[in-house]
Amino acid sequence: MKPADQYAPRPHYDINDLFAIDAAAEARAAFLRKTYAHLFLAILSFLGLTAIFLQIDSLTEFMVTRLLGGIQWILVLVVFMVVSWVADRWARSDTSIGVQYAGLALYTVAEALIFVPLLFIVSRFASWDVVPVAGIMTVLVTTVITGIVFISGKDFSFIRPMLTVLGIILLGAIVMSWIWPLRPVVISSIGVAFAGGMVLYSTSEVLHNYRTDQYVAASLSLFASIALLFWYLIQLVWALDD
């Protein structure tokens, strides 16, 4: 016999919550509104934090001169991946809405920090319009992909193996660039393709693999993919601008 408390409702969730695609239209619409509201707030927080961090000279100098390049940057990326994993686990918590928000906040801060070296270097050596153009392109690509997923209602989880292969190709191109002078436009183009695929995959996951009570976790997943797209679009626009 299973213990009776196994069937008790979770602390703050409705036991009848379904994946968004299976929920009633009203519940699905409410879930999507909450998800994209949290995504919007995360993006605003990211922009504000990044602007603040870039004004702290000691922080930017430390990240650019001490951490950028070589084994140090690899360690930074490893730490970022660990923090991202922790943040995602917190955002998916079934025990506390506070832990969920802590996960989203943690990831937003980490994302802002990881962007500091790139934005600092771009602001010093690239045209002034590189970041705005990349931002506009990010919004346009994300909007088109979102429209495709929501209008079609299709489950794009089948692209996961393709994304895995593309991610391995991207990683190989990055490693190769340390040995041979590989053109930045090549790496950034592969990165944009990978990140665009991740936005498509994440948007599809929001509909098909998140319950209607998991709007915080869903917004984190979308934010991570969109930030990755923005990261590589900055580099692609910069490479094409040279």
- pLDDT grade, residue 175 (50/70/90)? confident
* pLDDT grade for 105, boundaries at 50, 70 and 90: very high
Average pLDDT for 98-109: 97
Instruction: Give the pLDDT band of residue 13 (cuts 50, 70, 90).
Output: very low
Q: What is the mean pLDDT of the chain?
A: 90
| Residue-wise pLDDT tens digits, 127-173 | 999 999 999 999 999 999 999 999 999 999 999 999 999 999 999 99
Taking only the tens place, the pLDDT of each residue in 45-73 is 999 999 999 999 999 999 988 888 778 88
What DSSP assignment string belongs to 96-140? -HHHHHHHHHHHHHHHHHHHHHHHHHHHHHS-TTHHHHHHHHHHH
pLDDT score, position 189: 96
Buried/exposed code over 133-162 (b: 16+ C-beta within 10 A; e: otherwise): bbeebbeebbeebbeebeeeeeebeeeeee
Q: How far apart are CA 182 and CA 213, in angstroms?
A: 45
pLDDT(180) > 90: no
Nearest to 212 by CA among 37, 22, 12: 22
- Which pLDDT value is given to residue 182? 80
Q: Which residue has the higher pLDDT, 75 or 10?
A: 75
73 or 203: which leads in pLDDT: 203
Q: In percent, how much of the chain has pLDDT > 90? A: 76
Tokens found for residue 18: 């379904």
Q: Are 209 and 21 in contact (CB under 8 A)?
A: no
Span 23-41, average pLDDT: 95
Tell me how far apart the alpha carbons of residues 115 and 216 are, in angstroms, rounded to a whole number. Answer: 22
Query: Does residue 2 surpass a pLDDT of 80?
Result: no
Confidence of residue 17 (pLDDT cuts 50, 70, 90): low
Q: Supply the Cα-derived Rg of the chain in whole angstroms.
A: 19
**pTM for the predicted model, two decimal places:** 0.90
